[in-house]
Structure formats: C-alpha cells, structure tokens
Structure 1
C-alpha cells in the first residue's frame, strides 16, 4: 500500500553513497521538509550502525550544492565522483556516531525544487506559525 502525500510536506527517499574507509556502500536517507517548519530540513539516514537524524536549514542545503557550508553537526561541499558525476559530500556527526556520504546533486536539486514550490525562498516567515512554535517549546519543556 502506497502512502498518500501529506499536504505541505515534501518527503523524498534518496540513495546516498556512504564513504566508509575501504568499503563504500549505498544507504537510504529520507529528506523531509514541512511548511510548518519552513526554514528546516530533516534527514534520516537508515543505518543500523549509525542512526543519525540531523536537522539543518534549507538555505544551507541549497548553498552546499554550490559551495562549502556547515559547521556543527553537518558540513557539506560540492564534489565530483571519479566518473565525473556531480555530488554533494555531507559529513554528519553526533552523539550517535559519524558518517560521510555523497548525495547526487541532481537528486538534491529535485528535492529542493519541490520545497521551493511550497515555500519560495524569502517567504519562509510568512509560513511560520509563532503560536505553534511557542506551544511546541512549552510542551517539550514540560516532558
């Protein structure tokens, strides 16, 4: 059974190339964007060894396709594979572990284009529900 799309959400399953020393392998990652949180993108790497779920701002992901960006948990930079394909290398770290992978630039462009269709660049604040943000913060503090 196929899940129906959720209005205001872009979810795309991408295959990324895990750059483990001596043994590169493919890994699936969910890239998730929700208009309720218009500035952010969540990524879930489906790895039993390193279950990372970083969050980053959408503008950094878009810039990472063109130039090195990052610091903190996620850094990324454009690169080319040995056969000349454009990729973005992502270095992700956290208490759960670290990983370095490459993502197809073309796939990232498609994901980002879908997010910008929902919320064009520069209009993020128009979609931000501050009351909902405050309520989530208060609720998370109470738990």
Structure 2
C-alpha cells in the first residue's frame, strides 16, 4: 500500500506565551484511508496524533471538530492563510498553526491516491479482523 509523507513546521505557543516551531511529519496510508497522522518531533520524544482526513479538509475553509481536535482557518500576522490545529488531551493542550497551502497540497496528494467517497474500497476488513483476533489470542 502507498504511504505519503511530508515534513511541516507547526508554530506553537508554549506555556510562557512564546512561539516555538515544532517539526512535524504528516503521513497518510491508503490502507487507513479515513485518517492521517501527525507526528510531532518534540525534544522529549515523538508524539503521534491520528486525525480524520475529512476534518482537515473541512478545517481549511471553516471551523470544524469537537472534542480532542478542532481545526479552523485563520490569517497570520503577515496576512498569510494558516490553519489552526487545536489539540486537547487529559495531559494538556496544544494550539498550533500551519501554512494552509502546505496542508492543502498534502491533502491533494492523498486525494489523488484515495478520492473522497472511495475510501471503503481501500479498507482490508478481513485483515483488520484477523489482526484483532490475533491480538486477542496472544
């Protein structure tokens, strides 16, 4: 199965109000067509969040999301289009912004591999069930 990745830099605000750039890798796997992962490369180690591809697509143009992940469009201090990613967990909150064109370009690549509406064609449900049953037996 095809895997797409791209490096992106997120601008985050630390607990003291300073802006910190965080290198991040976005990844998309056709075998998991509804999701993509964001791996934050922090000083304390990598942290991965898996988010809905549709959530990011919708968040490019309008506020979306409930619960742990919210995404919405904005404009930075230089009048450039940015996408705000707001992550919440019991361990804390991360609000980051990314260049909307970078996210849009990556999502366009994912759509060329798995178009919207055809995701179910790429799911291997038999393989998933086998993996789940295999993990129960262990």
Q: TM-score, normalised by structure 2?
A: 0.89
- Cα distance, 1:87 vs. partner? 0.5
- Cα distance, 1:142 vs. partner? 4.7
The 1:32–1:68 alpha-carbon spacing in structure 2 relative to 1, beyond 3 Å, is: same
- The total of aligned residue pairs comes to 137
After TM superposition, list the pairs within 5 Å mapping 1:4-83 onto structure 2.
8-20=2-14, 21-49=16-44, 51-83=46-78
- Residues 47-56 or 112-121, more deviating: 47-56
- Cα distance, 1:22 vs. partner? 2.1
The 1:128–1:103 alpha-carbon spacing in structure 2 relative to 1, beyond 3 Å, is: same
Q: Deviations over 1:69-125 (max 9, x none)?
A: 112221111000011010011111224432110011000011101101111111101
Q: Which runs of 5 or more structure 2 residues have no equivalent in the other structure? A: none
Distance 2:89 2:65 in 1: 14
- Say whether the 8 Å CA contact 1:17–1:102 is kept in structure 2: yes
- Pairwise CA RMSD of aligned residues? 1.8
Alignment of 1:118 onto 2:94: no
Q: Which runs of 5 or more structure 1 residues have no equivalent in the other structure? A: 1-6
SS of 1:134's partner is helix
Aligned to 1:3: none
SS of 1:116's partner is helix
Distance 1:89 1:141 in 2: 39
The 1:16–1:34 alpha-carbon spacing in structure 2 relative to 1, beyond 3 Å, is: same
Structure ranking higher in strand proportion:
2
Q: TM-score, normalised by structure 1?
A: 0.87
- Cα distance, 1:13 vs. partner? 1.0
